Amino acid sequence: MMILNTFLKIQGVASSGGEAKQIIRSGKVLYNGVVEMRNKKQLFPGDKIEYEGSVWIVQEEYQ
């Protein structure tokens, strides 16, 4: 299982957990087309994450 703040760090959007949290709380991150404000939101394969014009589809579960 992957959580949103860790996902943003892996994608290079944020360099730290604190930065990822700020990005998420800015209201600019979309989870399956809806603004997501929870930094510990669980992600699953097929979920779509969007931020500032970039789009990612979660491909697999992380452990």
pLDDT at 15: 95
Confidence check: pLDDT of 36 > 90: yes
pLDDT computed for residue 49 by the predictor: 98
The pLDDT confidence band at residue 47, using thresholds 50, 70 and 90, is: very high
| Confidence band of 61 (pLDDT split at 50, 70, 90) | low
CATH architecture of 2-57: Roll (3.10)
Q: What are phi and psi of 32, to 5 degrees?
A: 50, 40
3-class SS of residue 22: helix
Which amino acid makes up residue 31?
Y
Domain positions in the chain are 2-57
pTM over 0.85: yes
Q: For residue 36, what are the CA distances in angstroms to 39, 51, 61?
A: 8, 11, 19
| Residues paired with residue 27 on neighbouring β-strands, in sequence order | none
